[in-house]
Amino acid sequence: MIGTVFRSEDVPSPDRFDFWREILGRTRSSDMASAHAGDFWAELRVMELGPVTVTPLSFLPTRFRRGPRTAHAGDPGVYHLSLLLDGGLTLEHAGREATFGPGDVHLADSARPYDLRSAVPAEGGVVRGVGVDFPRALLPLPSRRVREVLGRGLPGREGLGALLTDYLLGLDRQADTLRPCDAPRLGTVVLDLVSALFAQALDDEGVLPQESRRRVTGAAVRDFIRRNLHDPELTPPAIAAAHHISLSYLHRVFQEQTPGESGETVAAWIRARRMEAARRDLADPALRATPIHVIGARWGFPRASDFTRAYRAHHGAPPGEHRPGTPPRR
């Protein structure tokens, strides 16, 4: 498991807001106030991925203020990236005031004052998002250029923003199964995606190190594959064309950036993901009435015989044996 989880229910009610403030202040030191402090609710996971800290969190509306004196005297030298998933935020920072909604990404500098106010829809609910904190020195962009994006909203539902969003949400979903030894590598990928997002926003992708660009390409390729497993025409040449790279470069980047699967080809990785997805569907009681050939077609096998053959080769048994209630072979 990666990360430490805090749930307000685990702390006596009078202490919840102060304890949450203390935990969040370890990476985002600021003055915090909330109209709900007397009966506060929050959940967060702090994942330390090398020098990068990722914090998925949900909380009742809170105001975060970092004054000039605090910013100058206690600057930890980090950038704070925030991805908003639910609720609303208004930020005053670096001479800008902007309001953000679900799907927006913004960046703040710990050396500068900020005033961040959170809100939820009138019908109630919580603010939900993901924070990413990392040393300023690790962002491979000139500080004078980074100032151009401070406090500015960027879309987290398209392009590189969507890739970053999916990766951060995936970390949260899989945190209980990830190993601590994976943490530095995962943090490197987060930083690569963050760097690529802001380099693109500044129209300065050339400033990124070649290795970072390769890692971002590898992450984009795997995300593209996962989203298109249903397509029978999902082949290495089609993937290379979709990313405007050569087939040889695709194979090289893919093998370099697919941890723990050294030597596995693109086609083999696609096949394995399809077989995993098909087995999940076959084992799902809610899909018990769905014909096996329909499940095969859903995962890129329009011909039932091709699906059966590939499934048997991968799992060592025909697909019918992995349906609920099917007796095992003797």
At 3-49, the pLDDT tens digits run: 788 899 999 999 999 988 888 887 777 889 999 999 899 999 999 99
pLDDT at 323: 87
Residues 6+ apart with CB under 8 A from 76: 29, 110
Residue 46 parent element (H or E): strand 42-49
> Cα separation of 240 and 242, whole Å?
5
Instruction: Give the chain's domains with CATH numbers.
Output: 4-176 (2.60.120.10), 277-322 (no CATH)
Question: 76-114: buried (b, 16+ CB within 10 Å) or exposed (e) per residue?
Answer: eebbbbbbbbebbbebebbeeeeebebbbbbbbbbbbbb
Q: How far apart are CA 107 and CA 83, in angstroms?
A: 9
Does residue 263 carry a pLDDT above 70? no
pLDDT reported for residue 156: 93
- What's the pLDDT at 123? 57
pLDDT value, residue 40? 92
Q: Which two tokens stand for residue 297?
A: 């077609």
pLDDT band at 219 (very low <50, low <70, confident <90, very high): confident
Could you tell me the pLDDT band of residue 121, with boundaries at 50, 70 and 90?
low
Token pair for residue 93? 């920072």
Concatenating the DSSP letter of every residue in 179-237 gives: -GGGHHHHHHHHHHHHHHHHHHHTT-GGGS-HHHHHHHHHHHHHHHHHHTTT-TT--HH
Binned at pLDDT 50, 70 and 90, residue 327 comes out as: low
Residues 6+ apart with CB under 8 A from 307: 278, 292, 293, 295, 296, 297, 299, 301, 319
Q: How confident is the model at residue 304 (pLDDT cuts 50, 70, 90)?
A: very high
User: Confidence band (pLDDT; 50, 70, 90) for 149?
Assistant: very high
Using a cut of 0.75, tell me whether the model's pTM lies above it: yes
Give the gyration radius of the chain's Cα atoms: 23
CB 46 within 8 A of CB 53: yes
Q: How confident is the model at residue 69 (pLDDT cuts 50, 70, 90)?
A: confident
Asked if 219 and 192 count as a contact pair (C-beta separation under 8 A), the reply is yes
Please give the C-alpha separations between residue 225 and each of 85, 100, 162, 298, 311, in angstroms, as whole numbers: 24, 30, 15, 14, 19
The residue among 168 and 212 whose pLDDT is bigger is 168
Q: Measure CA 77 to chain center.
A: 23
Half-sphere exposure of 39 (CA within 13 A, CB side): 0
Percent of the chain topping pLDDT 90 = 64
Per-residue pLDDT band for 67 (boundaries 50, 70, 90) equals confident
Record the tokens describing residue 215, joined without a space.
């890692």
Q: Phi and psi (nearest 5°) for 107?
A: -125, 140
